[in-house]
Amino acid sequence: MRADPDKALVVLSGGQDSTTCLYWAIDRFGQANVDTVTFDYGQRHRIELECAARVAEFAGVHNRVLPIDTFTALGGDALTDDAIEVAQEIDAGSGLPNTFVPGRNLVFLTFAAAYAWRRAIANLVTGVAQTDYSGYPDCRENTMAALQDALSLGMEFDVTIHTPLMHLSKRETVELARDLGGLPAMALTHTCYNGERPPCGKCPACVLRARGFAEAGIEDPLPASS
Amino acid sequence: MRADPDKALVVLSGGQDSTTCLYWAIDRFGQANVDTVTFDYGQRHRIELECAARVAEFAGVHNRVLPIDTFTALGGDALTDDAIEVAQEIDAGSGLPNTFVPGRNLVFLTFAAAYAWRRAIANLVTGVAQTDYSGYPDCRENTMAALQDALSLGMEFDVTIHTPLMHLSKRETVELARDLGGLPAMALTHTCYNGERPPCGKCPACVLRARGFAEAGIEDPLPASS
């Protein structure tokens, strides 16, 4: 299948990183060529869905929400299972944080590719980052490279996975958002793993976000809880 | 994550190929070490779910059904969209049959890997075959190899995807099922793309199945419609 190399689909979670990626994609491909997809996978922080819709509207691009009921059925992680509390520590058994949803980014990108396939969109953009990556193995560059191969072969589809944040620190991500004119949209984003708004300020995601803005010397436009 | 190399999870659709794989897995890993997973993805041939449960019960292994509502939301293919009729011909635009669900096997195996990850099962078994493969690119060996890399890296998980039927003709698959004692279970399987029972005998899947049994000189234990 021949896809349009000028069109891009951004996996938009409604968070800081994917919003930065949206502005990166608009800068590179042009607003009219950018589409976004958001996954409703039973996440604890469901407020993300609303944030993604607002960010897309603010940026003037289309947003499609796709449901995934499978992760909830699989259960057992702190991001989709309400009975499990978000832990600060790495789980000794798996060596991974208990917010790790096995296969999450692989599934997101595979469904994004299926959506792109039907619309002949050749580029996927995702906010995964190897640095500051909270210990998620599905955010690494080699994982993304292998997945791009699997998607290209499995769908007979010349698809490219772009990861503009892959080697950026949180500080550099904040600076990139600023340089691309994406800072105002940050007021609409959501980061907190506990799904609180204003954010809890204490979960690993909140702490990481605060550090990024502090190190960049930029004020986070999203008001904090305290 | 260290997984048990003696345990296997079979992706069981309730069809002829995955049932043959189940008997292959039982032969190789032992009945007590084999688990099965079936996906309820809104398929037109939903009778498969019942067949999968019956096959698993007959073979004495556990069967877990996992829902996937995303393909129906994506729409646009003859296997999940009731408004689209199964075509006999290849679609000129994509060069693929209109029963092609983009990403289907990639998603199945990724969710199977997520299920296996939680249970420390190191082996996945799938009935995809490169020969007689109906033109599905996600059934090819190179796709499976790339996906195995993506899953291993993305879940930090030493997982192996087994494809015992990859290079077998339909005839050889029938012979393999016979050699493994899997023929009686074939009476419980489902193949027809139109979801009819007794099978329609006319869709590509029915025709392929009939040819395999005929070439092997073995009577199909599943009664035909005529």
Neighbours of A205 (CB within 10 A): 21
What rounded mean pLDDT belongs to chain B? 89
Residue A226, in any domain of the structure: no
State whether B103 and A96 contact (CB < 8 Å).
Answer: no
What are the pLDDT digits (tens) for A92-130?
566 666 667 788 999 999 999 999 999 999 999 999 988
What are the pLDDT digits (tens) for B17-55?
999 999 999 999 999 999 999 999 988 777 899 999 999
Minimum CA–CA partner of A110 in chain B = B103
State whether A74 and B115 contact (CB < 8 Å).
Answer: yes
Q: What is the pTM of this model?
A: 0.91
Residue B225, in any domain of the structure: no
Residue A223, in any domain of the structure: no
Q: Does B105 touch chain A (CB under 8 A)?
A: yes
Residue A138: list chain B partners with CB under 8 A: 153-155
Give the pLDDT band of residue B114 (cuts 50, 70, 90). very high
Residue B223, in any domain of the structure: no
Report DSSP state, residue A97: B
What are the pLDDT digits (tens) for B125-164?
999 988 755 667 888 899 999 999 999 999 998 999 999 9
DSSP H helices, chain B, are: 16-29, 47-59, 70-74, 104-119, 141-154, 170-179, 183-186, 204-216
Residue A158, in any domain of the structure: yes
Q: Check whether B67 has a pLDDT greater than 80.
A: yes
Q: Domain holding B181: CATH number?
A: 3.40.50.620
- Residue carrying structure tokens 């070490």: B33
Burial class (CB in 10 A: 0-12, 13-18, 19+), A85: exposed
Residue A14, in any domain of the structure: yes
Residue B92, in any domain of the structure: yes
Which member of B101, B118, B146 has the closest CB to residue A146? B146
Mutate to test the interface with A, among B111, B118, B134 (most CBs of A within 10 A): B111
Domain that holds residue B72: 4-216
What are the pLDDT digits (tens) for A44-99?
777 899 999 999 999 999 999 999 999 999 886 666 666 666 665 556 566 666 66
What are the pLDDT digits (tens) for B166-187?
999 999 999 999 999 999 999 9
Give the pLDDT band of residue A131 (cuts 50, 70, 90). confident
Q: Helix crossing, A204-216 with A170-179: angle to 10°?
A: 60
Give the pLDDT band of residue A180 (cuts 50, 70, 90). very high
State whether A114 and B138 contact (CB < 8 Å).
Answer: no
Report DSSP state, residue A87: P
Residue A10, min C-alpha distance to chain B (Å): 16
Q: Check whether B226 has a pLDDT greater than 50.
A: no
What rounded mean pLDDT belongs to chain A? 89
State whether B111 and A111 contact (CB < 8 Å).
Answer: no
Give the pLDDT band of residue A226 (cuts 50, 70, 90). very low
Residue B13, in any domain of the structure: yes
Minimum CA–CA partner of A142 in chain B = B153
pLDDT given at position A203: 84
Q: What's the structural domain count of chain A? A: 1
- Answer for the pair A158, A3: CB distance below 8 angstroms, yes or no: yes
Minimum CA–CA partner of B156 in chain A = A137
Residue B107: list chain A partners with CB under 8 A: 107, 110-111, 114
- As a whole-number percent, the residues of chain B with pLDDT over 70 amount to 86
Question: A with B: how many residue pairs have Cβ under 8 Å apart?
Answer: 140
pLDDT given at position B87: 64
